[in-house]
């Protein structure tokens, strides 16, 4: 009977060892699979980030192109006003002043672009926070009134 008990213990030990080996192998395969999934997720996230950066860059370039075109249009309008304005008198002075304003606005748009305008607006708001707040409240009220039926 003692040898039967020993055989059962040996068999149980063998089964336990095999179960440990199978479990260890399953854990190793699970870790490997999880690592592969994590690598794939990092790759997909990196690709999505790159695409988002490319899209943002393209949108920025398009906005700068539009701003440049508007600036060119303003300087062109200034030139046209100067060409068609009277040679002297009060109308000449008024047309010259309008043309100068359009010309300087056009140059500003072409040189600064949207990012420069945003920086300038940010600095203006920082220097004048109370008037900026009041302008924001007034604009909000006007937009609210305009959108109400």
95-124: per-residue pLDDT in tens?
Answer: 999 999 999 999 998 888 888 888 999 999
d(CA 135, CA 141): 10
How many other CB atoms are there within 10 angstroms of residue 76's CB atom?
A: 13
Note the pLDDT of residue 4: 65
Global pTM reads 0.54
The mean pLDDT value of the chain amounts to 86
**Contact status, residue 80 vs residue 97, Cβ threshold 8 Å:** no
Q: How far apart are CA 120 and CA 86, in angstroms?
A: 36
Q: Given pLDDT bands bounded at 50, 70 and 90, which one contains residue 149?
A: low
Q: Is the pLDDT of residue 2 over 70?
A: no
CA distances from 39 to 32, 44, 50 (A): 11, 9, 16
């Amino acid at each position: 009977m003692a040898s039967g008990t020993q055989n059962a213990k040996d068999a149980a030990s063998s089964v336990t060892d095999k179960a440990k080996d199978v479990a260890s192998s399953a854990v190793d395969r699970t870790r490997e699979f999880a690592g592969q999934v994590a690598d794939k997720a990092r790759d997909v996230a990196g690709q999505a980030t790159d695409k988002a950066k490319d899209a943002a860059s393209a949108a920025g370039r398009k906005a700068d192109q539009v701003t440049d075109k508007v600036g060119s249009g303003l300087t062109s309008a200034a030139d046209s006003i100067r060409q068609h304005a009277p040679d002297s008198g009060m109308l000449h002075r008024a047309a010259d002043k309008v043309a100068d304003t359009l010309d300087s606005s056009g140059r500003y748009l072409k040189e600064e672009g949207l990012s420069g305008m945003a920086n300038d607006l940010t600095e203006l708001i920082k220097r004048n926070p109370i008037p900026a707040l009041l302008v924001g409240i007034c604009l909000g009220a006007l937009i609210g009134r305009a959108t109400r039926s």
